[in-house]
Every structure is written in structure tokens, then in C-alpha cells.
Amino acid sequence: MLKNKNYNALFHFWLIVLTILIALIIVVGGLTRLTNSGLSITEWELFKGVIPPTSSDEWLKYFNSYKEIPQYLLLNSSMSLEEFKYIFLWEYAHRLLARFIGLFFLIPFLFFLYLNILKKYLIIRLTNIFALILIQGTVGWYMVKSGLIENTSVSHYRLSIHLIIAFSIFSCLFWIILNSYNKTKKKFFFIKNKYSSLQILLILLFIQIILGAFVSGLDAGKIYQTWPLMNGSYFPNDVNFNNFFNFDNPSTTQFFHRNIAYLIFLLSIYLGITIFKNHEINFYTPYLFYMGIITIQVILGIFVLVSGANFYLASMHQISSIFLILSIISLYHRVNPS
């Protein structure tokens, strides 16, 4: 992978830690949303906000800024300073980790560039990832701004963009790791008719992540808390043809999130039939690992619904999505012939 193989171990360590950090910030970001903490810091403090408040005056300054936004005025007007500190520290941890990831990417990357040990295609791919990291920071603030003037929460559309970029960065890094350890230069996009279902499956999983962000942003998991039917009906009773594709409606969003999950699971089974029918022994282990994760993910999704969107179950559902993407990309890399 590198021009100088003496640095392979260091390069691999850097990529692995970066991938773990991206996974961690996805988890922290999800918990920040579940605790409704994302709007607690109302300014984009790129440098000033590195150190948390250390005095009563500083805490009151942040709290008074929070008191001016709709979330406080309409939902949390009885919140105490101690309760504010709890949500503030969640968002602070989220932003601090984001800063650390940016630096942890940039400094070693510049070091490898200085040593001139990266091959050209790696420089291009890593530069693209860094560009995504920079875009992610901007989108993060763009997302927060959507809840500072008229809304009591961030826009679920902006939340979904923020989340899908995070998973894109995560996927790109993991792909480079797989190529590096397997000494391959496989491209992410390829066409192979025999396993086109795997490509469709991968696309559906990323669509499902977007829908999951919609569900989270709209608190859509707190309605229709029955399964397999939605309060005795397959279709939600407050949705008609005129607003069937209205993704501002929590009922519509939950309906599509459920049904894309069913489609993903059925397509996963079909993929397994194809693999075993063709006696692709090398694909057995990554496929079975993927099926184990997708089964857990489906079960957790059902438990989240029937539990009334229990905080711990919802967080486990979000965390398992990281392992789901890991497993499907591992299988995709194995099948990929390029």
C-alpha cells in the first residue's frame, strides 16, 4: 500500500483508530440527539469552545443564550442550571470529539505526505475524506442553526445529511483498511450481475440510515408502538394518498422505515440463497456475520417500537447500525472482483 513498507504498521494503526473515532462520534451524536442536547450550545465556537465553562458566570452566559431559543421557551422553560449542564456537556463532548478527529486526521496525513510514502491513489482518497470531514463540520453547524429560530429541534433533513456524511467517512476509511490488509486496490463501485442484489442491498441500507435519521429527528418512534401492524392496520390511519410521501409526517416516516427494513431483510435472505447456491465458500463467513447483525438490528428495531422508544434500546439500535455497515462492507469487499 505504501511506497515505504516500514510505515505500514503505523499507517494501519492510524486508519484503525480513525475508523473507531468516527464510529464513536456516530454513537455520541446519536446519544446527543436522544438526550435532546444538540441545541444547548447556540454558537459555532470553532476555537473558543475547546475549554468548557469553568465559572458560574460562564455557565450562566451559555444558559442565558439557550433561554433565547424556541426549545427552551416552548419545551424546557422550567429547566434548572444543573439540568442544562447535563445537555450542554453532551453537545460539548460531541463537538470536542469532532475537533479531535479533524486534528487526528490532518496531522498524521501531513506527516505521511512530508515523508512522501503515500501512493497517488491513496493521497486522492484520503484528501477526499478530509474534504468530507470539513464539510461535515459545516453541515453540523448548518443543522444546529435550523433549531435556533423557529423550531424546537433540528431539521430532520439536515440531521440525515449530517449522519449520512458520517457513515460515508466511516465506510471510506474501512474500505481503505480492507484494501490495505488484503493488499488490493479495489474500487468501491463495480458492476457484477450475479451479485447485483448486494449492490442494491448496500444502497437500501444507506437509504435506511437516512430514514432512521428522519425517525429520530421527528421522534417518529414514539407513535404507532405496535408490531407487526400499526395500531391494527398495515398503513397508518392518519396518512392518505395526498400526503403519502410527506416525510415531514412522523407516521409516513415510520411506515417507510419499517417497510424498507422488511425489504432489506428479504433481500438479505435472497443474497444468501445466491451465495450458497453458487457454493461461494469464501463468502460464507462474512455473509453469516452480516445476517447475524441484521437480525439483531431488526429485533432491536421492533423492541424500540413496542417499548415506547426506550432510551437504551434506541441507543443500542443506533450502535448496531455501525456494525451492520461494517459487516455489509466486509462482504461487499470480498465479493468485489475489481
Tell me: pLDDT of 277 over 80. yes
Angle between helices 196-218 and 250-277 (to 10 degrees): 160
What pLDDT is stored for residue 46 in this prediction? Answer: 72
Give the pLDDT band (50/70/90) at residue 192.
low
Number of Cβ atoms within 10 Å of the Cβ of 23: 20
Domain residue ranges in the chain = 1-185, 190-338
* Comparison of pLDDT for 98 and 185, the residue scoring more: 98
What pLDDT is stored for residue 54 in this prediction? Answer: 86
Do 324 and 212 touch, CB atoms closer than 8 A? no
Report d(CA 311, CA 138) in Å as an integer: 28
Question: For 304-336, what is each residue's pLDDT tens digit?
Answer: 999 988 999 999 999 999 999 999 999 999 988
Angle between helices 156-182 and 196-218 (to 10 degrees): 140
Say what the pTM is.
0.93
Closest to 331 (Cα-Cα) out of 296, 289, 297: 289
Tell me: pLDDT of 43 over 90. no
What pLDDT is stored for residue 71 in this prediction? Answer: 92
Give the pLDDT band (50/70/90) at residue 194.
confident
Closest to 330 (Cα-Cα) out of 301, 279, 294, 278: 294
Tell me: pLDDT of 221 over 70. yes
Average pLDDT over the chain, rounded to whole?
Answer: 90
CA dihedral 199, 205, 210, 215 (to 10 degrees): 160
What pLDDT is stored for residue 327 in this prediction? Answer: 96
* Percentage of the residues of the chain whose pLDDT score is greater than 90: 64
Question: For 279-304, what is each residue's pLDDT tens digit?
Answer: 889 999 999 999 999 999 999 999 99
Question: For 162-181, what is each residue's pLDDT tens digit?
Answer: 999 999 999 999 999 999 88
Mean pLDDT highest for which of 22-26, 114-118, 188-192?
Answer: 22-26
What pLDDT is stored for residue 4 in this prediction? Answer: 63
Report d(CA 217, CA 310) in Å as an integer: 15
Give the pLDDT band (50/70/90) at residue 197.
confident
Cell of 199: 449492490
- Cell 463532548 locates to 93
Give the pLDDT band (50/70/90) at residue 193.
low
What pLDDT is stored for residue 336 in this prediction? Answer: 81
* Comparison of pLDDT for 192 and 17, the residue scoring more: 17
Tell me: pLDDT of 41 over 70. yes
